[in-house]
Structure formats: structure tokens, C-alpha cells
Amino acid sequence: MKVYAINGSPRKNKNTATLLQKALDGVKEAAKDKEVETEIINLYDLNYTGCKSCFACKRLGSKSYGKCAIKDDIYEVLEKVSQADGLIFGSPIYFSNITGQLLTFLERLLFPYLVYDKNYSTIPPKKMPTAFIYTMNVSENLMEQVGYPEAFNKIEYTIERTFAKPLVMYSNDTYQFDDYSKYESSAFSEEAKAAHRKIQFTLDCQKAFELGANLIK
């Protein structure tokens, strides 16, 4: 069994990456009697572009039908995750959406599986459970008020049509800096942020662990 976490954050040891690792720990815990291979794939380590509209993935009879043909740093990654037994995507929220790095990766992953037939069928090599972890500076109330979940639903719907409906968790009001005094951050209270993190992020780590466990149950 292979489960991959796709880290759409530029940071490898902060909020998003930490929660993704907790989710993978949950996967391992839930699969005690099975051999499980887990890995975090850090997208910011890789050099790649979004879809180039070459339509090689749609060319009938070609070797690239149903596959992305662009040979860059994620060419082999796309093949690897296509054979996974579970995928967990994670991203901080920039300008009310997932990072461009993750969105670009999802273009390359999902578009080749979309068939231009009358039903807009999908042809992934295998179905698999999926999950999405979102981390963000805004509070849960503000997230709801400005409609973040509705915006996220668009990509979640495409993932559902391709693989499976993703399990979802939000980590809100995250701690952004190691030292708020070094940055212009008067919009926030460092004291309140630290107090919130001390309690809530521990709970979020547990939620991520449970999400990973539920992913393969």
C-alpha cells in the first residue's frame, strides 16, 4: 500500500507539512497489519509548469493517451501517484485559494484523465481515496463569511469525479511568523495567535491524524 502527501506549501516543516505528516502517521497507525509506504512530495522542490494545452493526452492511439506527455520534474511523480492507494493534498491559502504550485500540479494530474466524450468521462488508472488539508491565517468564522469552502469545492469536485470524494479538514487562524515583531503585522495580535496555536494546533494535529486513519478504513 502506498499513500502520498502532496505538499503545496513552500515550507517543509511548518503548518501544512506538519499536518500532512500527522495524516501519514494516521495512515500507518490504521494499517498496522499491512505494509504501508508513505511519502511527502514537496512541490516547491520541483521544476515544472502547468498544462500547456498540447492535447497529447487526448490523442487517440498514442502512447500518451490519458497521460501527461510533458517531460519535466513531475513527469515521473505523476506516474507514481497515479498508482497510489491514497492521496492527501495540503496547501496554505493564498488570495482565497490553494497555492499556484499545487493548482498547477493538479492541472497536470487531473486533465489527462478527463475524456472529451459526450459524458466527460474520467479514466484514471485506478480509483483511490483522497483528502485535502487547508491551512490559513483567517478564523473559521471569516473563512465561512467570505466563502472559502465554496471556492475549494470546485477543485474538490474534480478530484471526486476522478478518484473519490476527498475528506476535508481546515486549520484556521494559523501562526505565521516565528517572531511577529520583525514584520509589519499590526493587523494581528501575536499574543492571541500564540495562545490559539498552543491549544488549537495540537487539536488540528490530532484531526489530521484521524483524517489519515479514516482515509484507508
Write out 1-47 in H/E/C secondary structure.
CEEEEEECCCCCCCHHHHHHHHHHHHHHHHCCCCCCEEEEEEHHHCC
Return d(Cα 17, Cα 88) in angstroms, integer. 11
Q: What are the cell numbers at 29?
A: 497507525
Q: Phi/psi zone of residue 82: left (φ > 0), alpha (ψ -120 to 50 degrees), beta?
A: alpha
Q: What letter does residue 165 receive in the DSSP assignment? A: P
Question: Can you give the CATH number for the domain in which 159 is found?
Answer: 3.40.50.360
- Supply the pLDDT for residue 9: 97
Place of cell 478530484: 159
CA 77 to chain centre: 14
What are the residue ranges in the chain where pLDDT is below 50? none
Domain range for 159: 2-215
- Supply the pLDDT for residue 169: 98
**Tally of domains within the chain:** 1
- Supply the pLDDT for residue 45: 97
- Supply the pLDDT for residue 178: 83
Given a contact cutoff of 8 angstroms between Cβ atoms, the answer to whether 126 and 162 are in contact is no
